[in-house]
Amino acid sequence: MGTRNQYINQFNGEIYEGSKTDLKIILKGKITTIIQIPLILQNEVIGILNLSSYDKKIEISKEDVEKLVRFGNQIAGVLHNAQLLKETEEARKIADHEKQKSENLLLNILPEDVATELKEKGFTEPVHFESVSVMFTDFKGFTKIAEILSPQELVKDLDTCFVQFDKITERFHLEKLKTIGDSYMAAGGIPRPNRTHAIDCVLAAFEIQSFMKAMKEIKESQALPCWELRLGIHTGPLIAGVIGEKKFAYDVWGDTVNTASRMESSGSPGRINISQATYEIVKEYFECEYRGEVNAKNKGPVKMYYLNRIKPEFSIDEEGRIPNERLQGLLAL
């Protein structure tokens, strides 16, 4: 090869011009023999197989070249497979990520057990529950205050409240069902039945009211309008299930739902109004105030109670809003 800036194919006499970089490498490395085989895949060069000798000039036969070409083709195939494997792995990771996003979105809409049933079966069966505690909240004077707020302020204030309600209800194992305007609805004892749902609901209600009290103090200190919250709870049987195809919704039906709504609308701002059924379950642990029979829309006279506090022997704070270890232990039994 000498110092000529040429590669000579000894089998067909064709001359291929090499690059200046190649020539520099040949001269500096004192290369005596060099052969470069393009790695071709689907009519495209994906690499170069470079073989060289530093000691002595090597005679390479046509058969040797053919073997090297076949070897190069094998290398090209291996590289191609490696690239396909890498692309497949990347595609799998993307698919897994998108699947996880979809599952997280589904879990934001449906309870975990219900979402699992929907994924496995493609549908869900409605379920009858013997005992569920349903909680409704509503803001007093919402419409009036909403009229003086900008759309951004209104949505921000609602979001602040409902995000906090979400955290509280989740902490007490309640299932958020929906918000309608300024109304918030959650339930305990679904989709997994448990024996503590009424107490869980009451404790969540106390914490929600404490949050609203703190928020009111902040708003008033800044001379800003604030909402007061009515909150009602009723316990009884109902049916739960998923409705819709394009927009799923986990919902509940039955007179228990209607009665819980009446507990809220028949209550007073800043108070927790509960039904006779809920009272009978929680009266051992909470101090309640009998209101008598109160007329409720479409229900007639209904016995109602205001929930005042956790009994002193079961609370750690003076206001009776936080359960002590004794009550927590009883709930865990």
- Other C-beta atoms within 10 Å of 58: how many? 13
Q: What letter represents residue 238's amino acid?
A: L
**Three-state SS for 237?**
strand
User: Do residues 104 and 98 touch, judged by C-beta distance below 8 A?
Assistant: no
Bridge partners for 292 per DSSP: 304
Q: How far is CA 332 from CA 197, 199, 310, 326, 328, in A?
A: 12, 12, 17, 10, 6
CA torsion 17-18-20-21 (nearest 10°) is 170
Q: How far is CA 136 from the centre of its chain?
A: 24
User: Do residues 207 and 307 touch, judged by C-beta distance below 8 A?
Assistant: no
Measured between its terminal Cα atoms, the distance across the chain in Å is: 90
pLDDT in tens, the chain (333 residues): 333 333 333 333 444 455 566 666 666 666 667 777 777 777 777 777 777 777 677 677 778 777 877 887 888 778 778 878 888 888 888 887 777 776 766 666 777 787 777 777 777 888 999 999 999 999 998 888 888 889 999 999 999 999 999 999 999 999 999 999 999 999 999 999 999 999 999 999 999 999 999 999 998 899 888 889 999 999 999 999 988 777 778 899 999 999 999 999 999 999 999 999 999 999 999 999 999 999 998 889 999 999 999 999 999 999 999 999 999 998 886
Rounded Cα–Cα distance for residues 113 and 288 (Å): 35
What's the pTM? 0.71
Question: Which residue segments constitute the domains of the chain, with CATH numbers given?
Answer: 6-86 (no CATH), 126-332 (3.30.70.1230)
Q: Where are the alpha helices (DSSP H) in 110-194?
A: 112-121, 142-146, 151-171
**C-alpha closest to that of 236 among 137, 127, 134:** 134
